[in-house]
Structure 1
Amino acid sequence: MELRRLDNIFFATCPDEAAAAQIHDIAKSTVAEFGLRGRLLDRLCLHITLHGVGEYEGLPRSRIAQANEAARSISMPGFDVGFDRAMSFGGNGQNRPLVLSGSVGHAELRRLHRLLGEAMRRVGLWRTVRSSFTPHVTMLYDSRTVAERPVPLVRWTVREFVLVHSPQGHSRHNHLGRWELAG
Protein backbone atom coordinates (compact mmCIF):
# COMPACT_ATOMS: atom_id res chain seq x y z
CA MET A 1 0.00 0.00 0.00
CA GLU A 2 1.45 3.35 -1.05
CA LEU A 3 1.46 6.18 1.49
CA ARG A 4 -0.24 9.37 0.38
CA ARG A 5 1.85 12.52 0.48
CA LEU A 6 -0.13 15.51 1.65
CA ASP A 7 0.42 19.14 0.87
CA ASN A 8 0.07 21.35 3.94
CA ILE A 9 -1.08 24.92 3.28
CA PHE A 10 -0.97 27.57 5.99
CA PHE A 11 -0.55 31.28 6.69
CA ALA A 12 2.58 32.37 8.50
CA THR A 13 4.95 35.21 9.14
CA CYS A 14 8.67 34.60 8.87
CA PRO A 15 11.71 36.09 10.58
CA ASP A 16 14.09 38.20 8.53
CA GLU A 17 17.52 36.76 7.65
CA ALA A 18 19.30 38.19 10.70
CA ALA A 19 16.65 36.88 13.11
CA ALA A 20 16.61 33.48 11.37
CA ALA A 21 20.40 33.26 11.85
CA GLN A 22 19.99 34.14 15.56
CA ILE A 23 17.27 31.52 15.96
CA HIS A 24 19.48 28.93 14.30
CA ASP A 25 22.36 29.80 16.67
CA ILE A 26 20.06 29.45 19.70
CA ALA A 27 18.84 26.10 18.39
CA LYS A 28 22.42 24.86 17.85
CA SER A 29 23.51 25.89 21.35
CA THR A 30 20.40 24.27 22.89
CA VAL A 31 21.08 21.06 20.97
CA ALA A 32 24.67 21.02 22.26
CA GLU A 33 23.71 21.89 25.85
CA PHE A 34 20.95 19.28 26.17
CA GLY A 35 22.29 16.58 23.85
CA LEU A 36 19.30 16.81 21.53
CA ARG A 37 19.33 14.66 18.40
CA GLY A 38 16.59 16.33 16.37
CA ARG A 39 17.48 17.96 13.09
CA LEU A 40 17.34 21.76 13.03
CA LEU A 41 14.69 23.22 10.77
CA ASP A 42 16.17 24.98 7.76
CA ARG A 43 16.44 28.76 8.27
CA LEU A 44 14.11 29.26 5.30
CA CYS A 45 11.43 27.18 7.04
CA LEU A 46 11.38 29.11 10.33
CA HIS A 47 8.02 30.79 10.84
CA ILE A 48 5.13 31.66 13.13
CA THR A 49 2.02 29.81 11.98
CA LEU A 50 -1.00 32.11 11.92
CA HIS A 51 -3.68 29.75 10.56
CA GLY A 52 -3.83 26.47 8.73
CA VAL A 53 -5.72 26.28 5.45
CA GLY A 54 -5.60 22.49 5.31
CA GLU A 55 -3.84 19.34 4.14
CA TYR A 56 -4.62 18.19 0.63
CA GLU A 57 -3.43 15.79 -2.04
CA GLY A 58 -2.12 18.39 -4.46
CA LEU A 59 -2.83 22.10 -4.42
CA PRO A 60 -6.56 22.85 -4.61
CA ARG A 61 -7.01 26.00 -6.70
CA SER A 62 -10.31 26.93 -5.08
CA ARG A 63 -8.87 26.84 -1.54
CA ILE A 64 -5.82 28.84 -2.60
CA ALA A 65 -8.11 31.40 -4.26
CA GLN A 66 -10.16 31.65 -1.05
CA ALA A 67 -6.98 32.07 1.01
CA ASN A 68 -5.77 34.82 -1.34
CA GLU A 69 -9.11 36.60 -1.05
CA ALA A 70 -8.96 36.47 2.75
CA ALA A 71 -5.37 37.70 2.85
CA ARG A 72 -6.03 40.66 0.53
CA SER A 73 -8.59 42.01 2.99
CA ILE A 74 -6.10 42.37 5.88
CA SER A 75 -5.07 45.91 6.73
CA MET A 76 -2.85 46.65 9.68
CA PRO A 77 0.57 48.22 10.22
CA GLY A 78 3.79 46.28 10.59
CA PHE A 79 5.04 45.64 14.12
CA ASP A 80 8.01 44.35 16.09
CA VAL A 81 8.06 40.92 17.72
CA GLY A 82 10.53 39.40 20.14
CA PHE A 83 11.25 35.98 21.57
CA ASP A 84 13.44 35.42 24.63
CA ARG A 85 12.61 31.93 25.94
CA ALA A 86 13.22 28.41 24.65
CA MET A 87 11.19 25.38 25.74
CA SER A 88 9.66 22.14 24.58
CA PHE A 89 5.97 22.03 23.80
CA GLY A 90 3.92 18.93 24.63
CA GLY A 91 4.07 16.64 21.61
CA ASN A 92 4.82 12.96 22.02
CA GLY A 93 7.64 10.52 21.36
CA GLN A 94 10.06 11.94 18.80
CA ASN A 95 7.67 14.79 18.05
CA ARG A 96 8.27 17.30 20.87
CA PRO A 97 8.79 20.71 19.31
CA LEU A 98 11.58 22.87 20.74
CA VAL A 99 10.28 26.40 20.35
CA LEU A 100 11.09 30.04 20.96
CA SER A 101 8.45 32.00 22.83
CA GLY A 102 8.27 35.45 24.36
CA SER A 103 5.98 38.41 24.67
CA VAL A 104 7.25 41.35 22.58
CA GLY A 105 4.66 42.28 19.96
CA HIS A 106 2.43 39.36 20.72
CA ALA A 107 -0.68 41.52 21.09
CA GLU A 108 -0.15 42.57 17.47
CA LEU A 109 0.46 38.95 16.42
CA ARG A 110 -2.80 37.99 18.10
CA ARG A 111 -4.56 40.85 16.28
CA LEU A 112 -3.19 39.64 12.91
CA HIS A 113 -4.29 36.09 13.82
CA ARG A 114 -7.80 37.32 14.72
CA LEU A 115 -8.20 39.51 11.61
CA LEU A 116 -7.00 36.74 9.33
CA GLY A 117 -9.30 34.21 11.02
CA GLU A 118 -12.29 36.51 10.55
CA ALA A 119 -11.37 37.02 6.88
CA MET A 120 -10.98 33.27 6.38
CA ARG A 121 -14.45 32.66 7.85
CA ARG A 122 -15.94 35.27 5.48
CA VAL A 123 -14.56 33.48 2.40
CA GLY A 124 -15.61 29.99 3.52
CA LEU A 125 -12.41 28.70 5.15
CA TRP A 126 -14.01 28.53 8.59
CA ARG A 127 -13.20 24.84 9.23
CA THR A 128 -9.48 25.47 9.72
CA VAL A 129 -9.74 28.67 11.80
CA ARG A 130 -8.63 28.18 15.40
CA SER A 131 -9.40 30.66 18.14
CA SER A 132 -6.45 29.62 20.31
CA PHE A 133 -3.05 30.99 19.34
CA THR A 134 0.29 30.75 21.13
CA PRO A 135 2.93 32.71 19.20
CA HIS A 136 6.09 30.65 18.82
CA VAL A 137 8.80 29.63 16.38
CA THR A 138 9.57 25.90 16.15
CA MET A 139 13.32 25.22 15.87
CA LEU A 140 13.38 21.39 15.80
CA TYR A 141 11.61 18.25 17.00
CA ASP A 142 13.15 15.88 19.52
CA SER A 143 12.22 13.11 21.96
CA ARG A 144 13.79 14.96 24.89
CA THR A 145 12.11 17.76 26.79
CA VAL A 146 13.74 21.11 27.52
CA ALA A 147 12.27 23.11 30.40
CA GLU A 148 11.55 26.78 29.78
CA ARG A 149 14.75 28.83 29.91
CA PRO A 150 15.85 32.34 28.96
CA VAL A 151 17.75 32.87 25.70
CA PRO A 152 19.11 36.02 24.04
CA LEU A 153 16.29 38.19 22.68
CA VAL A 154 15.53 37.61 19.00
CA ARG A 155 13.67 40.55 17.53
CA TRP A 156 12.43 41.50 14.06
CA THR A 157 9.79 43.63 12.38
CA VAL A 158 6.83 41.78 10.90
CA ARG A 159 6.31 43.51 7.56
CA GLU A 160 4.33 40.80 5.76
CA PHE A 161 2.65 37.44 6.03
CA VAL A 162 2.73 34.58 3.55
CA LEU A 163 0.70 31.62 2.32
CA VAL A 164 2.97 28.59 2.61
CA HIS A 165 2.88 25.29 0.77
CA SER A 166 4.79 22.65 2.74
CA PRO A 167 4.91 19.28 0.96
CA GLN A 168 4.83 16.48 3.56
CA GLY A 169 8.11 14.64 3.85
CA HIS A 170 10.15 17.49 2.41
CA SER A 171 12.03 20.09 4.39
CA ARG A 172 11.04 23.06 2.32
CA HIS A 173 8.43 25.78 2.10
CA ASN A 174 7.09 27.33 -1.07
CA HIS A 175 5.42 30.71 -0.72
CA LEU A 176 2.20 30.79 -2.74
CA GLY A 177 1.39 34.39 -1.82
CA ARG A 178 2.78 37.32 0.12
CA TRP A 179 0.96 40.33 1.61
CA GLU A 180 2.64 43.41 3.03
CA LEU A 181 1.45 45.04 6.20
CA ALA A 182 0.97 48.80 5.82
CA GLY A 183 3.12 51.41 7.46
Structure 2
Amino acid sequence: MPARITQSNASQIELFRQPPIVLAQTHRLFFALMPDEAVRRAIGRAAVVLQEQYPVLRARWVKSERYHATVNFLGDYPELPGDVVEKARAAANMLCAVSFTWSLDYATSFRGREPPCVLRGTFVPDAMFVLWRDLNAALAHVGLYRHIEHSFTPHVTVAYGRRELPHAAPVAPVAWPIDSVALIHSVVGKGYYEQLGRWPLLSPAR
Protein backbone atom coordinates (compact mmCIF):
# COMPACT_ATOMS: atom_id res chain seq x y z
CA MET A 1 0.00 0.00 0.00
CA PRO A 2 1.51 3.36 -1.00
CA ALA A 3 2.57 5.66 1.82
CA ARG A 4 0.18 8.46 2.64
CA ILE A 5 1.58 11.95 2.09
CA THR A 6 0.65 14.18 5.01
CA GLN A 7 1.06 17.95 5.25
CA SER A 8 4.15 17.41 7.42
CA ASN A 9 6.07 15.11 5.12
CA ALA A 10 4.90 17.12 2.07
CA SER A 11 6.66 20.12 3.61
CA GLN A 12 9.77 18.03 4.05
CA ILE A 13 9.64 16.99 0.40
CA GLU A 14 9.39 20.64 -0.66
CA LEU A 15 12.36 21.42 1.58
CA PHE A 16 14.49 18.87 -0.24
CA ARG A 17 13.45 20.41 -3.54
CA GLN A 18 14.92 23.80 -2.62
CA PRO A 19 17.79 24.94 -4.85
CA PRO A 20 21.26 24.25 -3.47
CA ILE A 21 22.88 26.97 -1.38
CA VAL A 22 25.34 29.02 -3.42
CA LEU A 23 28.35 30.03 -1.37
CA ALA A 24 29.46 33.65 -1.60
CA GLN A 25 32.40 34.27 -3.91
CA THR A 26 35.26 36.70 -3.56
CA HIS A 27 36.36 38.34 -6.80
CA ARG A 28 39.89 39.75 -6.67
CA LEU A 29 41.41 42.33 -8.99
CA PHE A 30 45.04 43.33 -9.30
CA PHE A 31 47.68 44.53 -11.73
CA ALA A 32 50.54 42.07 -12.06
CA LEU A 33 53.64 41.10 -13.95
CA MET A 34 53.04 37.69 -15.55
CA PRO A 35 56.06 35.54 -16.52
CA ASP A 36 56.33 33.71 -19.80
CA GLU A 37 56.74 29.94 -19.91
CA ALA A 38 60.55 29.98 -19.76
CA VAL A 39 60.53 32.18 -16.65
CA ARG A 40 57.79 30.04 -15.07
CA ARG A 41 59.96 26.96 -15.49
CA ALA A 42 62.97 28.72 -13.97
CA ILE A 43 60.92 29.87 -10.97
CA GLY A 44 59.55 26.34 -10.66
CA ARG A 45 63.05 24.88 -10.56
CA ALA A 46 64.00 27.29 -7.79
CA ALA A 47 60.86 26.29 -5.87
CA VAL A 48 61.73 22.58 -6.18
CA VAL A 49 65.20 23.19 -4.74
CA LEU A 50 63.70 25.13 -1.83
CA GLN A 51 61.19 22.34 -1.22
CA GLU A 52 63.99 19.80 -1.07
CA GLN A 53 66.30 21.91 1.09
CA TYR A 54 63.69 23.17 3.56
CA PRO A 55 61.11 20.44 4.31
CA VAL A 56 60.69 22.15 7.69
CA LEU A 57 58.48 24.70 5.93
CA ARG A 58 55.72 22.09 5.51
CA ALA A 59 54.42 24.34 2.77
CA ARG A 60 51.66 24.48 0.19
CA TRP A 61 53.54 25.10 -3.05
CA VAL A 62 52.02 27.46 -5.60
CA LYS A 63 51.21 26.02 -9.04
CA SER A 64 53.42 27.44 -11.77
CA GLU A 65 50.49 28.95 -13.69
CA ARG A 66 49.84 31.19 -10.69
CA TYR A 67 53.33 32.69 -10.49
CA HIS A 68 53.15 36.47 -10.73
CA ALA A 69 54.39 39.68 -9.14
CA THR A 70 51.62 42.00 -7.95
CA VAL A 71 52.15 45.65 -8.84
CA ASN A 72 48.90 47.09 -7.47
CA PHE A 73 46.07 45.38 -5.58
CA LEU A 74 42.62 46.65 -6.57
CA GLY A 75 40.52 44.93 -3.92
CA ASP A 76 38.16 42.04 -3.18
CA TYR A 77 34.50 42.19 -4.24
CA PRO A 78 31.37 40.00 -3.95
CA GLU A 79 31.08 40.17 -7.75
CA LEU A 80 33.24 41.45 -10.57
CA PRO A 81 32.93 45.28 -10.45
CA GLY A 82 32.57 46.47 -14.04
CA ASP A 83 33.17 50.12 -13.13
CA VAL A 84 36.46 49.37 -11.41
CA VAL A 85 37.57 47.20 -14.33
CA GLU A 86 36.87 49.97 -16.84
CA LYS A 87 38.68 52.59 -14.74
CA ALA A 88 41.63 50.24 -14.27
CA ARG A 89 41.82 49.70 -18.04
CA ALA A 90 41.72 53.45 -18.59
CA ALA A 91 44.56 53.87 -16.10
CA ALA A 92 46.65 51.19 -17.83
CA ASN A 93 46.11 52.93 -21.18
CA MET A 94 47.89 55.97 -19.71
CA LEU A 95 51.10 54.11 -18.82
CA CYS A 96 54.33 55.18 -20.47
CA ALA A 97 56.78 53.07 -18.43
CA VAL A 98 59.60 51.23 -20.18
CA SER A 99 60.50 47.54 -20.23
CA PHE A 100 63.34 46.14 -18.09
CA THR A 101 64.84 42.92 -16.77
CA TRP A 102 64.42 41.82 -13.16
CA SER A 103 66.63 39.15 -11.62
CA LEU A 104 65.28 36.95 -8.80
CA ASP A 105 68.22 35.60 -6.82
CA TYR A 106 67.12 34.74 -3.29
CA ALA A 107 64.20 33.38 -1.27
CA THR A 108 62.88 34.67 2.02
CA SER A 109 59.69 34.50 4.10
CA PHE A 110 57.17 37.16 4.98
CA ARG A 111 55.40 37.00 8.29
CA GLY A 112 51.83 35.73 8.47
CA ARG A 113 49.55 32.94 9.63
CA GLU A 114 50.88 30.90 6.70
CA PRO A 115 54.20 32.68 6.08
CA PRO A 116 54.61 33.22 2.32
CA CYS A 117 57.89 31.94 0.91
CA VAL A 118 58.86 34.38 -1.83
CA LEU A 119 61.53 35.00 -4.43
CA ARG A 120 63.08 38.45 -4.52
CA GLY A 121 65.93 40.24 -6.21
CA THR A 122 68.95 41.72 -4.46
CA PHE A 123 68.76 44.56 -6.98
CA VAL A 124 65.43 46.00 -8.10
CA PRO A 125 65.64 48.09 -11.29
CA ASP A 126 64.59 51.71 -11.01
CA ALA A 127 62.25 51.07 -13.95
CA MET A 128 60.16 48.75 -11.77
CA PHE A 129 59.55 51.50 -9.22
CA VAL A 130 58.81 53.95 -12.05
CA LEU A 131 56.15 51.52 -13.36
CA TRP A 132 54.60 51.26 -9.89
CA ARG A 133 54.57 55.05 -9.38
CA ASP A 134 53.14 55.67 -12.87
CA LEU A 135 50.38 53.15 -12.27
CA ASN A 136 49.49 54.76 -8.94
CA ALA A 137 49.34 58.18 -10.60
CA ALA A 138 47.13 56.83 -13.39
CA LEU A 139 44.76 55.17 -10.88
CA ALA A 140 44.44 58.47 -9.04
CA HIS A 141 43.74 60.25 -12.34
CA VAL A 142 40.78 57.95 -13.11
CA GLY A 143 39.37 58.25 -9.60
CA LEU A 144 40.56 55.02 -7.98
CA TYR A 145 42.23 56.92 -5.12
CA ARG A 146 41.63 54.27 -2.46
CA HIS A 147 43.69 51.77 -4.42
CA ILE A 148 46.85 53.87 -4.31
CA GLU A 149 49.69 51.86 -2.76
CA HIS A 150 52.08 53.57 -0.33
CA SER A 151 54.81 50.94 -0.44
CA PHE A 152 56.02 48.36 -2.91
CA THR A 153 58.00 45.18 -2.20
CA PRO A 154 58.45 43.30 -5.49
CA HIS A 155 58.28 39.52 -5.01
CA VAL A 156 56.92 36.25 -6.40
CA THR A 157 55.18 33.93 -3.93
CA VAL A 158 56.12 30.28 -4.44
CA ALA A 159 54.69 28.71 -1.27
CA TYR A 160 52.69 29.22 1.92
CA GLY A 161 54.42 27.54 4.83
CA ARG A 162 53.68 26.59 8.39
CA ARG A 163 57.06 28.00 9.30
CA GLU A 164 59.32 30.74 8.00
CA LEU A 165 62.60 30.18 6.24
CA PRO A 166 65.31 30.35 8.92
CA HIS A 167 67.27 32.83 6.78
CA ALA A 168 67.41 34.29 3.30
CA ALA A 169 68.39 31.53 0.87
CA PRO A 170 70.18 32.15 -2.45
CA VAL A 171 68.65 30.57 -5.55
CA ALA A 172 69.91 30.17 -9.10
CA PRO A 173 69.23 33.63 -10.60
CA VAL A 174 66.07 33.90 -12.69
CA ALA A 175 66.37 36.63 -15.33
CA TRP A 176 62.87 37.90 -16.05
CA PRO A 177 62.38 40.31 -18.99
CA ILE A 178 59.43 42.54 -18.03
CA ASP A 179 57.72 43.85 -21.15
CA SER A 180 54.06 44.17 -20.12
CA VAL A 181 51.66 44.54 -17.21
CA ALA A 182 48.34 42.68 -16.92
CA LEU A 183 45.00 43.27 -15.20
CA ILE A 184 44.08 40.04 -13.42
CA HIS A 185 40.74 38.77 -12.14
CA SER A 186 40.56 35.73 -9.89
CA VAL A 187 37.85 34.05 -7.86
CA VAL A 188 39.44 33.20 -4.53
CA GLY A 189 39.76 29.44 -4.09
CA LYS A 190 39.11 28.59 -7.75
CA GLY A 191 42.77 28.25 -8.67
CA TYR A 192 42.93 30.15 -11.96
CA TYR A 193 43.63 33.67 -13.20
CA GLU A 194 41.76 35.52 -15.93
CA GLN A 195 43.58 38.26 -17.80
CA LEU A 196 41.24 41.19 -18.43
CA GLY A 197 43.87 43.08 -20.36
CA ARG A 198 47.58 43.26 -21.02
CA TRP A 199 49.54 46.40 -21.81
CA PRO A 200 53.02 46.40 -23.40
CA LEU A 201 55.71 48.56 -21.90
CA LEU A 202 57.78 50.88 -24.06
CA SER A 203 61.21 49.93 -25.37
CA PRO A 204 64.00 51.76 -23.52
CA ALA A 205 65.51 54.70 -25.37
CA ARG A 206 68.89 53.87 -26.89
- Answer whether TM exceeds 0.5 for this pair: yes
Task: Give the distance between the partners of 1:103 and 1:122, measured in 2 at CA.
Answer: 32
TM-align CA RMSD: 1.5
Q: Determine the structure 1 residue equivalent to 2:31.
A: 11
Q: CA deviation at 1:39?
A: 2.6
Using the size of structure 1 for normalisation, the TM-score is 0.93
Report how far residue 135 of structure 1 moved: 0.7
Superposed CA offset, 1:11-43 (max 9, x none)? 001122111111111111111211133232122
In the alignment of these two chains, the number of paired residues is 181
Paired letter, 1:121 = A
The one of the two structures with greater contact order (alpha-carbon pairs below 8 A, sep at least 6) is: 1
Secondary structure of the structure 1 residue equivalent to 2:189: coil
Identical pairs, percent:
34
Aligned partner letter, 2:97: M
When the two structures are superposed, what TM-score results if normalisation uses the length of structure 2? 0.83
2:15 is matched with: none
Instruction: Please state whether the residue corresponding to 2:61 is helix, strand or coil.
Output: coil
The letter of the residue matching 2:183 is L
Q: Which runs of 5+ in 2 are unaligned?
A: 1-20
Instruction: Return 5+ residue gaps in structure 1 as ranges.
Output: none
The answer as to whether partners of 1:5 and 1:167 remain within 8 angstroms in 2 is: yes
**Equivalent-residue separation in structure 2 for 1:29 and 1:119 (angstroms):** 39
Task: Write the distance in 2 (CA, Å) between the matches of 1:2 and 1:143.
Answer: 31
Matched, 1:174 2:194: yes
CA distance in 2: counterparts of 1:110 and 1:60, whole angstroms: 27
Runs of at least 4 residues off by over 4 Å: none
1:140 to 2:159 alignment: yes
The SS at the match of 2:183 is: strand
Q: Do structure 1's residue 21 and structure 2's residue 41 form an aligned pair? A: yes
Q: Which amino acid aligns with 1:12?
A: A
* Alpha-carbon displacement from aligned partner over 1:36-56 (angstroms, at most 9, x marks no partner): 332321222111100011111
- Residue of structure 2 equivalent to 1:73: 94
* Aligned partner letter, 1:76: A
Which of 117, 124, 131 lines up with 2:143 in the alignment?
124
